[in-house]
Amino acid sequence: MENVVIIGAGIGGLIAGSLLAKKGYKVTIFEAHGAPGGYTAGFYRKGYYFESGTVSFEASASVFKAMKDIGALGKIDFEKQRLRLYSEDFDGIPGSYGEFKRLIYSAFPAEKGKLDTAFRELDKIAAMTENMDKPLPFLYSGFEFFKAVLPFAAGGVRLMKLAGHYGNMTSSEFAAKYFEKGSKLHRLFCSFGYPEMSAMMVGSSLSGLFADLWTVKGGMQSWADVLAENFRELGGGLRLNSRVDRIITKDKAAVGVLCNHTVYDADYVISAGDYKKTLLKLLDDDSLVPETLRDKIGAAPVSEGYFTVYLGLNLKDEGLKKYMKAPHVLFFNLSPGFGGYNSDDEEFFNKTSVELYSPSMENPGLAPEGKSSLMLQAKVPCRWMDNWGGGDREAYLLLKQKAADALISGASRLIPGLSGRIEYRDAATPLTYEKFTGNTDGASCAWCWNPEKKFYQSAMSANIETPVKNLYIGSCWAMQVGGVPGALAAAYRCAGKIK
């Protein structure tokens, strides 16, 4: 029986481990922390539950297929998530891309002509992706893979033409074609997804954002716990509080890992974590990665991290619902003065939009009786303010407090009297996320989404191979745009590669 070691018990590592355990391999997952989940996890504080990272996911067909394949689909309650869009100009809970368009048209009637032209282009992208509600082809093998590719290939020529035109166009470049730079509509169309992501991704994301957004009723940690238990039931071994210090190699191949001064032999090693740290810090032999590739990996930018404020409120869920209307709210600040994602902008958090999410509105059991939980989030410029104070602890704490105060102040425009309802308060910076997930700079979705700064040539390829034989990448870092779909694609490709 061949032995597989997996580094990291996130979604990618747990799915890959379960697939391999089902095939009869001896699989051990090493997780640095005391609970599984990685970015798809959560925690309790003072009786309030909060998500550690991921609060929702799309590509539900891929998720449900993966859960079915490992025998865990009926063990977790997935729930469609409603998303409210709010600004001083519009307020609605669109149930489809068409309803989203109607909301924007109603808010900006004087801009109908410009909106017609912009949506004409986005509609082309949405039309090519809205019917692709099947699992990713990466989740199949053999003949089934080719069958799965057919829906994507059917419109291949048109899709490739669109990708050629919009794939390398950033969201701000797209918005500037139709709206005056700095205007509300320009800012709005730059605000969806990650900063400067491709116009192709804006169009495809909008088509799925309102129709295929899901969460876990018991919280993301319950999903990770079910996956971990299912993995154990399949015969896998999960070692928590076991940080891998080195990947051991011999004759240019991975042959095991070093953890807590002990070497664990392996025929294959899957790193279900950060690509950069895997190849630049964990290998016991730096020479296995060519210098040109090392330089490329080191210089490659990653996706923006989040700043998150965790609030326990002395407010019933019914009271919070009166203000939020939906558990998940995108609160757009479209007023003038926002200078983009400038790492040196000390006032960034006073200008940015804020995302609100209440776990207890999804499930009242996730907060003490008669109270509610609330998360406030904002994507952050990479290494904001000299990476949050340049290592000065006092400066770090001051910046953290200032950022939290700004987000609470912004959210108070939607929830009056918010600050007076707070019973518990904490916050996480990108440095916090890096500490607990290992992701470089707290990257929330693998590599940078800006098409001008991509690491992989193709944004949709799943790249599990490394320069080291029998060492594979089994996390969202195998794809340029990462996320839960990227982690699943990597997990299946790793399981298929190991035969």
Range of lowest pLDDT (36-45, 110-119, 219-228, 340-349): 340-349
Q: How far is CA 24 from the centre of its chain?
A: 31
Q: What type of residue sits at position 215? A: T
Q: Are 244 and 447 in contact (CB under 8 A)?
A: no
Which of 158, 176, 157, 171 is closest to 201 using CA atoms?
Answer: 171
**Residue 203 has what pLDDT?**
85
**If you compute the radius of gyration of the chain from its CA atoms, what whole number of angstroms results?**
22
What is the secondary structure of 189-231 as a DSSP string? HHHSSSTT-BHHHHHHHHHHHTTS-EEETT-HHHHHHHHHHHH
Confidence of residue 206 (pLDDT cuts 50, 70, 90): confident
CATH class, range 304-437: alpha beta
Which of 296, 227, 305 is closest to 36 using CA atoms?
Answer: 227
CATH homologous superfamily for the domain 3-77+217-300+450-497: FAD/NAD(P)-binding domain (3.50.50.60)
Longest dimension (CA), the chain: 69
Q: Is 311 helix (H, G, I), strand (E, B) or coil?
A: strand
- pTM for the whole structure: 0.95
Alpha helices (H) along 35-170? 60-69, 97-107, 112-129, 142-154, 156-166
Q: Are 297 and 279 in contact (CB under 8 A)?
A: yes
Q: Are 471 and 269 in contact (CB under 8 A)?
A: yes
What percent of the chain is predicted at pLDDT more than 90? 83
Number of neighbouring beta carbons within 10 Å of residue 270: 32
Distance CA 82, CA 95 (A): 8
Q: Are 63 and 216 in contact (CB under 8 A)?
A: no
Q: What type of residue sits at position 182? A: G
The sign of the CA dihedral 193, 223, 216, 307 is negative
Range of lowest pLDDT (88-102, 136-150, 332-346, 390-404): 136-150
- Tell me the pLDDT of the chain averaged across its residues: 93
Confidence of residue 165 (pLDDT cuts 50, 70, 90): confident
Number of neighbouring beta carbons within 10 Å of residue 114: 17
- What's the average model confidence in pLDDT over 393-412? 97
Confidence of residue 24 (pLDDT cuts 50, 70, 90): very high
Distance CA 436, CA 447 (A): 18
pLDDT tens sequence across 425-451:
999 999 999 999 999 999 999 999 999
Residue 185 has, within 13 A of its CA and on its CB side, a CA count of 25
